[in-house]
Amino acid sequence: MRHTAVLLISCPDQKGLVAAIADFLLRHNANILHADQHQDAELKLFLMRVEWELADFSLDLAEFAAAFGPIAARFGMTWRVAESSRKQRLAVFVSKFDHCLADLLYRYQSGELHCELPIILSNHEDTRWLAEAYRVPYQHLTVHKDAKHEAELTQLGILRDRKIDFIVLARYMQVLSPDFIRHFPSRIINIHHSFLPAFHGAKPYHRAFERGVKLIGATAHYVTETLDDGPIIEQDVARISHRDALDDLVKKGADLEKVVLSRAVKWHLDNRVLVYANKTVVFD
> Residues with catalytic annotation?
228
Residue 224 CB, shortest distance to its own copies, in Å, is: 12
Instruction: Pick the piece of the chain touching its own copies (CB under 8 A) from 23-31, 68-76, 78-86, 158-166.
Output: 23-31
Q: Interface with its own copies includes 226 (CB under 8 A)?
A: no
Q: Encode burial over 115-124: b for 16+ CB neighbours within 10 A, e otherwise.
A: bbbbbbbbbb
Judge whether 236 and 217 are in contact, CB under 8 Å: yes
Query: Is 133 one of the binding residues for its own copies (CB under 8 A)?
Result: yes
| Cα radius of gyration (the chain) | 21
Closest separation between CB of residue 117 and its own copies, Å?
A: 16
125 binds its own copies (CB under 8 A): no
Q: Does 175 bind its own copies (CB under 8 A)?
A: no
d(CA 81, CA 75): 17
**Which string of DSSP letters, residue by residue, matches 88-103?**
EEEEEEE-S--HHHHH
Q: Give the Cα separation of 68 and 80 in Å (integer).
A: 11
- Of 11, 22, 71, 227, the residue at the interface with its own copies (CB under 8 A) is 22
195 binds its own copies, rule: CB under 8 A: yes
| Identity of the residue, 16 or 70, whose beta carbon is nearer to its own copies in the bound complex | 16
Cα(first)–Cα(last) distance of the chain, in Å?
Answer: 18
114 contacts its own copies (rule: CB under 8 A) = no
Which residue, among 125, 94, 100, has the nearest Cα to 113 in the 3D structure?
A: 100
Among 110, 144, 163, 178, binds its own copies (CB under 8 A): 110
From 116-124, 139-147, 155-163, 232-240, span contacting its own copies (CB under 8 A): 232-240
Nearest to 278 by CA among 203, 197, 166: 197
Q: Can residue 58 be called a binding residue for its own copies (CB under 8 A)?
A: no
Residue 45, interface with its own copies (CB under 8 A)?
no
Smallest gap from residue 171 Cβ to its own copies (A): 13
Query: 91 — phi, psi (to 5°)?
Result: -115, 135
Q: 25, 100, 167, 170: which one contacts its own copies (CB under 8 A)?
A: 25
**Contact between residue 13 and residue 37 where contact means Cβ atoms under 8 Å apart:** no
Which burial class, exposed, middle or buried, applies to 156 when counting CB atoms under 10 A from its CB (0-12, 13-18, 19+)?
middle
Q: Are 220 and 190 contacting, i.e. CB atoms less than 8 angstroms apart?
A: yes
- Give the residues lining the site for its own copies (CB under 8 A): 15-16, 18-19, 22-23, 25-26, 29-42, 98-99, 102-103, 106, 110, 112, 133-134, 195-199, 211-215, 217, 231-237, 239, 241-243, 245, 251, 255, 259, 277-282, 284
